[in-house]
Structure 1
Amino acid sequence: MAQRSDPGRAHATPSLFEGQAPRPLADRLRPDSLADVVGQDHLLGPDGPLSHMVAARALSSMILWGPPGTGKTTIARLLAQATDLHFETISAIQSGVADLRRVFDAARQLRAAGTGTLLFCDEIHRFNRAQQDAFLPVVEDGTITLVGATTENPSFELNGALLSRCRVFVLHRLDDAALARLVERAEADAGRALPLLPEARSGLLALAGGDGRYLLNMVEQIYALGGTEPLDMAAMGRVLQRRMPVHDKAGDGHYDLLSCFHKSLRGSDVQAALYYAARMMVAGEAPETVFRRLVCAASEDVGMADPQAMIQVIMAWDAYERVGWPEAKLFMAQAISYVATAPKSNAAYLGFAGALAAAEETSHLTPPLHILNAPTRLMKQLGYHHGYRYDHDEPDAFSGQEFFPDGLTGPNRPEFYQPSERGFEREVRKRLDYWNGLRAKRRGE
């Protein structure tokens, strides 16, 4: 059902006894102004689009898309307050078209009296197509300013007609700095420091996973214990009834899990690779860290045995950047599974390592003149480019000419890259053998 509040106010006027009822910490610490909202500076900072709208007192209808606990409801309330709009809230989980019509009728009456209405629709993606279509005329004619909140990708969950009438703003999962500010506010509210040792305090931020509301709920549980003795990680886990992830993003735990993850990929153990990736996610590791390691493994350990591995990982990473967490776990799982189950070869890696070592020792050798360009007459007279054969002019597009400098030819000619018999490299090996045979034949070897 729709819930109403007074125009321009973040909360309804309390009843006689409401002040005596306990309020959750997350509710007590709701910001009183947009400047107090943490973690969304890209929207609310001096150059943020929402700040510009408020300054111009001209809100457009919008969709706030982001993970739970990032401030969607709070921002909607404060936008109404800052622009003197009547604030209405409705939940797509509990409401239907009849509820929407009642809200729209009330908004028309307020509009006739000179007051605009900001309607906050929580979980708007849960409305079906017909329910979403009901917003179109009142958004179109300005009866309401719609602020819809969703944790799902609007491109997939909302009608195109509704999306075309709204701006979409992406809210970020709260980083450690923003979460730390919330803890400081909780400590100011309680009048005492949170009884946690430094490592437990860091673990608490990691456990929150970027969800400010969840963090404050955990802080409230810790304060409710009533103790003053600082808790370590294990003790905090018992208080919260959660096993604390043993992982420090800035310490050995970070590198240990990354090492386990990479070695599992290299060892073609997809089950272990998925497990260690999940360990890192549960511990609050950034998804980018996992994707970076996947890219390295796709090149170092899979390499030319399956060149698609690199493409698959880059595409999955790109999809993550476009869609965001939590949907990104789908792309991450696919990329991990592909790299772990792909045939393995480090031949390209070893080949380049050998080439680097040879280059260090032979950088004084002059390349053969026939593959050097001759942009001047003097260079032509000196024999630059003389005798070069354009490979595409050959019947089989292969000239068989020598490209190494003297000193690295004949029996000394190196073979840095030696493909394996695994995966795609089996075909590459056939190609190299074919070209080597043609090269020897045309040189009369």
Structure 2
Amino acid sequence: MWSLPFVSSALLAVAPAAAFAPHIQHPDQIAMNTYERGVGHFSEWSRATKKEFLIDWQAGKESEWILVQGNEGGDLDSMTAALTWAYHLGHSTLNTSNPIKAIALLQTPTHALDLRPENQLALKNSQMTSGHEDLLTIDELPEDPETLSPKLKGIVIVDHAEPLRKWQKAKILSIFDHHVDRGAGPDASPRIFEKTASCTTIVARQMLDELEKLDEEYHMPHELLELVLSAIAIDSGGLDEDSSSEADIKTSARVLARSNWKKKDLNQVMEGLDDELGDAKKDLGHLGLRDLLRRDWKSDLVDTVSTNTPTVSLGFASIPYSMDYQIDKTEFEELFDWFAIHAAWTAEARVDVSVCLNRYKKDEDGKKRKIREIALVVRDDVRIDQDQADSLFQVIYNALTTNGSITLTPWHRASELAPRQMVWTHESDAGRKVIRPIVEDAVMAWE
């Protein structure tokens, strides 16, 4: 089975950072490969845990299980953090009188996992079974979350501040996040909110702290350790000093010391992983607009103070291209076609409010400027009528344009937009972590 190449110490001094990362295959190439059963302890554990969970569900033993779940965007950080903590919970209690049954749930449909080429590559490098058969995804869950959630022993939330509404009946056992604390699960333990580049950093540090206190350490597969390093590397820019925290650096060093790369230089390993996975992450030219909208899509219901409409559905997409580039990827290469494709996707997702957060770089006078865009659309055909949609659009519009943390400029084609459509540009660092709470708070206050 192909695995990550290792570089001899003789080549260390002259090898580029990329030498420590795997050779990338285009997603289409990987998809064409023959079926490969995963090898190694990590793959075997993941597949066996999935089987055991489904057997217990069939037998009505859901109450014995903890589901460790990341956010529905399903990026490498979220996936790795969930897998890491589920592995730790099960193995750290395996030889005790009260062993824990825990499984990672990816809140991303199986068919959407490969919209993130970096995930596909990282899982292949970790020697997991092709087709993601080792993983439990949301579309494989045998019962609706709203009915399953109160039956479970509990849930652990990673890389997200609070459970999606469909999981709110579940007991929150722990939360690990690097976003804004929304007050969920006040009695959860551990309950850690910390500003780090990667949520996997927080989970891996807690795992190592607890592992080192055990009378006898359990087996830690190198495939999982390398997956952890990959997740931290891509989120921290290879431990770039401007992107990483002290916790990211220290935890990466602790993980590296236990991995098969323990004799390698930390910075070179992390830079190499970031280069290779980053190249894969950018390999999105084959995706159409609909896939770009859904590849990093997060949505949930939000409670309002309105008696007529007590809940509103919000959806957020993050796309690494400008509106102009996205328009060029449509069939007719016209503005109307972007909104037609967008409308078809948001109708399928059944959201009232959608926010597309675009980011790209613009060359100007030999320098690259980082530009962000916010595209806001409010529908009137899901839970709210036209008058309500007009009102809600204005509330969100005001919340975004009067927020002191960002300065928004109308997009250069804003005059061509239809009612309840708006696009702005800005040059702040405010991404989804900043914009989503602004929009959610505005919706919650809407009457």
User: TM-score, structure 1 length as denominator?
Assistant: 0.27
**Structure with higher helix content:** 1
**Structure with higher strand content:** 2
Instruction: Report the structure number with the largest CA radius of gyration.
Output: 1
User: TM-score, structure 2 length as denominator?
Assistant: 0.26
* Bigger relative contact order (CA 8 A; separation at least 6): 2
